[in-house]
Amino acid sequence: MKTVCNPYLPIDEYIPDAEPHVFGDRVYVFGSHDQEGGYTYCMRDYVTYSAPVTDLTDWRYEGVIYRSDQDPDYPNRKYMYAPDVVQGNDGRFYLYYAMGGDYGYGGYYGPISVAVGDSPAGPYEYLGFVKNPDGSPMQKYVCFDPAVINDDGVIRLYYGTQYSYELEEDFLTNGRLEDEMKMFNRTREEILSYKEDSINGPSMLVLEDDMVTVKEEAKHIIPYDTRGTSFEAHPFFEGASIRKIGSKYYFIYSSWLNHELCYATSDKPDRDFVFGGTIVSNGDIGFHGREAKDRLNMTGTTHGSIECINGKWYVFFHRLTHKSDYSRQSCAEEICIESDGSIRQVEMTSCGLNGGPLPASGSYPAVICCNLTNHRMPHGSNSIFKDNFPNITHLGEDRFIGEIENDTLIGYKYFSFSSVKIISIQAREETPENLVVLDAPLRVDERTDQEGFEQANAPAGDGFGNDSWGIGDADSQATGSDGAAIAGAFDIRLTPDGESVGRIEVPVAEDPMAWISCEGEVTIPDGTHALYLIYKGNKKTQLKTLTFS
């Protein structure tokens, strides 16, 4: 029986900002393309994967569909950001995207570029840019993160970003106006010309059938100033996406909180949107009331959308790896659209598109964990951290969880257990020889959680009570059940604070590059359970695989 995990693409593939679309009998995922362990966003050319709508375990690599050097602005701006694809009224497929440079520099300059192909999987050829009827580049508002829909023959383009600078009372004198001028590459007169409106905010325009010429001028779909509105706690930041369900429009976006995908609904495509809620957070913040300080992963930028596939609705989003915002992997979860049109927030899981729990048999990569925390995980945004905290990373061809320290929780949701007696892992003590150090500059952004950033280098906490295993302090050498030296041990539980159902000891390294097979007997009742590995040890550990028998 085939299974699919989160992330649902190969573990060495990084496609964030996912826009899933069903064309014919297949679902295609379009998105940015990050470099594994890269130093900035979107360093690779666009590729796509597709799967039959009847089998979301069977993803097929469709290859490179469009290269950044096909855009005339290359190499002035080298990277292509979050795209979207729509089928035009002529039956061809149109790809919309924005270009940017390192750390997003130039990504707000516009205009929005367009490429065209005869198949959803391309190849695509450069067509032009979104332009005004006089042929000049359309640059009303900030041309960023385009999303497009063929609304019964009407081609609607959504886009934008939003910063709150203009809401500051001294905006004209505190330097923020100059910040916007530099950020958006606009003159003072251009920015102030919006008067009671703003250059910031989510916008929509209508295109002619040629897919590049503006037919109806852009207008904001949500007011820039959201104070006192339903959007106040979750204002738009970026990542515009649009879906139409029945006669209602769903606007999906990344909020200023930066870790969540939110949605708003309206009976109109260009106005009267009302905030609906959060669909998913890449730290499970807000799920069952979870607070930001208790995030279950490093959090940061997310972007994605929803799609109906073979009668079921799913949300596609991304998680962060490599202690940065620049190596993002696509994940997905099934969602439910209630009879009143609302969408309840879903939790991150390891089983995602599998249609049910993963069978607790055979081996899995450890990196399919959906929760990874030392109880003080940072929030990044356009950031790279060099401080210590558990993270998904790679070294050569090995993908694994590194910097596992005392009290780290590694969670998997969910497995279906049947007569499982032993859980085995491949692990090794972390040493200077196998420690992954990202060769990139340290970066923190204004949306970075600085407190979490500083705490990430603090001594390990005690989130699960006192250590009763005799691991000892950092200067002592722990011993295992047979008296041999160990780096530490994983306590196996079915709930984070539940009773132990087993233990796996990790020997002290002899060869720092060798993965050691370790196992432990477990007592797990048959049925569907979450699985948590909670590490206790005064030496850090790395974890590569998880095997059930």
User: Beta-strand (E) ranges in 341-421?
Assistant: 358-359, 362-365, 371-373, 391-395, 398-404, 409-417
Q: What is the H or E stretch that residue 52 is in?
A: strand 46-52
> HSE-up of 26 (CA within 13 Å, CB side)?
15
Among 13, 84, 166, 238, which one carries the catalytic annotation? Answer: 238
pTM exceeds 0.85, yes or no = yes
Band (469; pLDDT cuts 50, 70, 90): very low
17 is catalytic: yes
Res 273 pLDDT > 90? yes
Nearest Cα to 336, choosing from 286, 270, 277, 295? 277
Rounded to whole angstroms, how far apart are CA atoms 216 and 338? 33
Active site residue 84: no
DSSP letters for 126-172: EEEE-B-TTSSBP-SS---S-EEEEETTEEEEEE----SGGGSTTTT
What is the per-residue pLDDT across 324-346, written as a single tens digit (0 to 9) for each? 999 999 999 999 999 999 999 99
Residue 453 has a pLDDT of: 44
Measured in degrees and rounded to the nearest 5, phi and psi for residue 446 equal -65, -20
Query: What rounded mean pLDDT belongs to the chain?
Result: 93
Predicted pLDDT at 509: 83
Q: Is the pLDDT of residue 478 over 70?
A: yes
One of 13, 17, 325, 403 is an active-site residue; which one? 17
User: Quick one: pLDDT band at residue 437, thresholds 50, 70, 90?
Assistant: confident
Confidence of residue 476 (pLDDT cuts 50, 70, 90): low
Q: Which residues contact 204 (CB under 8 A, 6 or more apart)?
A: 156, 157, 158, 218, 219, 221, 269, 270
- Backbone CA torsion sign across 491, 495, 499, 501: negative
**For 289, phi and psi rounded to 5 degrees?**
80, 10
What is the predicted pLDDT for the residue at 515? 97
Backbone angles phi and psi of 12, in degrees to 5: -105, 15
Residues in a beta bridge with 254: 238, 261
Q: Tens digit of pLDDT for each residue in 364-377? A: 999 999 999 999 99
What pairing do the DSSP bridges indicate for beta strands 260-266 and 362-365?
unpaired
